[in-house]
C-alpha cells in the first residue's frame, strides 16, 4: 500500500508539473505553425486571412475597369484612394450628397420658421434653407478629401518599408517583377493598402503591361510624390542602363533624408502654431492672476 501510494503521488506530481508545460508547448507550436486550413490563432493563419481580405479591393479595382475603358472614372479613383473599394461606393457617395442637401434644407427651414417673424414673406425661409442645403453638398466632398489624406499618410508611412524590401530583393538577384510580387505578398499582412496597390501592379505586369506604365499608374493610384519620383527613377535606370540596386539605395537614402527634413519643418513650425492657443487660453488666466490682487487692493483703498 505504501508503494502504491507513493506511485500515485509521483504520478499526480508529474501530472501537475509537466502537463501544463506540455500543453503550453503545444499551444505555442500551434500558434506558430497552425493546424488545419486556417487557424485564427496562428501567425500563418492570420497571414492567410490578411491576404484573403486584401484580395477584395484588388477584385473591386479590376471590376471597375471592365466597363470598356482602361482606367476607372475620377470619382471611382478618388474613392479607391480614400479606401472605399466596394462597387456600390459611387452610388453611396451620391446618396450621401443628396441626403446632406435634404437634411440641411429641412433643419434650416425648421429653424428659420421658428426664429423669423411671421410678417416676413414665406419664400424667405425657403430661400435661406435652399441656399444652406446647396452649401451642404460639399460636406461629403470635404469628408472624402479627409479620408484620402489619411489614406495617403498610411501609404507614406509604409513606403520606406517597401523600399527596404525592394533593395533586399534586388540584392538577392531578383528581377523587378519578381521583387514586386514577393514584396506585395509580404506586405499584405503588415501594410494592407500598399500591399493591395502592389498586388494590382503585379497583376498588371503579368497581363503584359509595360513596367513604365504600371509604375505610373501605381503613382496615380496612391497619389504620393515619392511613388512618382520612383517611377521616374525606374524609367531613367532602364533607359540609361544603370544599376537598379544602387539607384534604389540612393533613392531610399534621399527619401529618408526628406522625411527627416519634413519632421524638422513641422517641429520648427510648432512654436508659431502654439502662440494662438497660448494667447487665447493661458494669457487671460495669467493676466487675471496678476491683476486680481491689484484690483482687490485698489478696491480696498477707494471704497
Residue-averaged pLDDT of the chain: 76
Give the lowest-confidence range in 8-17, 40-49, 211-220: 40-49
> What would the pLDDT profile of 46-87 be if each residue is shown by its tens digit?
555 665 555 666 666 666 555 545 555 778 778 877 877 777
Q: What sign does the dihedral 202-207-211-216 (CA atoms) show?
A: negative
Question: Between these two residues, 223 and 70, which has the higher pLDDT value?
Answer: 223
The Cα–Cα gap between 219 and 223 comes to: 6
Half-sphere exposure of 90 (CA within 13 A, CB side): 11
Domain boundaries along the sequence of the chain: 154-259
Q: What is the pLDDT of residue 46?
A: 56
DSSP letter for each residue of 257-279: HHHHHHHHHHHHHHHHHHHHHII
Grid coordinates 500563418 are at which residue?
Answer: 44
Q: What is the pLDDT of residue 294?
A: 81
SS3 62: helix
Is the separation of the CB atoms in 203 and 62 below 8 Å? yes
The Cα–Cα gap between 216 and 271 comes to: 39
Amino acid at each position: 500500500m505504501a508503494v502504491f501510494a507513493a506511485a500515485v503521488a509521483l504520478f499526480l506530481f508529474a501530472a501537475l508539473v509537466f502537463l501544463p508545460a506540455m500543453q503550453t508547448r503545444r499551444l505555442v507550436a500551434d500558434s506558430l505553425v497552425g493546424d488545419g486550413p486556417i487557424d485564427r490563432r496562428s501567425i500563418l493563419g492570420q497571414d492567410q486571412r490578411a491576404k484573403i481580405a486584401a484580395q477584395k479591393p484588388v477584385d473591386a479595382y479590376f471590376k471597375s475597369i471592365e466597363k470598356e475603358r482602361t482606367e476607372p472614372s475620377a470619382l471611382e479613383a478618388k474613392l479607391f484612394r480614400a479606401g472605399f473599394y466596394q462597387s456600390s461606393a459611387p452610388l453611396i457617395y451620391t446618396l450621401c450628397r443628396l441626403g446632406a442637401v435634404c437634411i440641411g434644407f429641412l433643419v434650416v427651414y425648421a429653424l428659420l420658421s421658428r426664429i423669423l417673424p411671421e410678417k416676413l414673406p414665406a419664400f424667405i425661409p425657403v430661400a435661406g434653407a435652399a441656399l444652406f442645403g446647396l452649401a451642404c453638398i460639399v460636406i461629403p466632398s470635404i469628408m472624402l478629401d479627409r479620408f484620402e489624406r489619411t489614406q495617403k499618410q498610411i501609404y507614406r508611412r509604409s513606403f520606406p518599408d517597401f523600399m527596404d524590401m525592394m533593395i533586399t530583393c534586388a540584392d538577392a538577384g531578383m528581377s523587378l517583377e519578381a521583387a514586386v510580387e514577393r514584396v506585395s505578398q509580404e506586405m499584405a499582412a503588415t501594410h494592407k493598402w500598399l500591399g493591395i496597390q502592389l498586388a494590382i501592379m503585379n497583376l498588371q505586369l503579368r497581363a503584359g503591361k509595360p513596367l513604365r506604365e504600371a509604375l505610373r499608374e501605381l503613382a496615380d493610384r496612391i497619389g504620393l510624390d515619392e511613388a512618382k519620383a520612383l517611377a521616374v527613377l525606374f524609367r531613367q535606370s532602364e533607359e540609361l542602363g544603370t544599376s537598379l540596386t544602387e539607384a534604389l539605395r540612393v533613392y531610399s537614402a534621399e527619401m529618408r533624408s526628406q522625411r527627416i527634413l519634413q519632421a524638422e519643418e513641422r517641429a520648427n513650425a510648432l512654436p508659431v502654431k502654439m502662440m494662438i492657443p497660448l494667447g487665447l487660453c493661458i494669457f487671460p488666466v495669467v493676466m487675471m492672476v496678476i491683476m486680481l490682487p491689484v484690483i482687490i487692493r485698489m478696491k480696498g483703498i477707494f471704497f
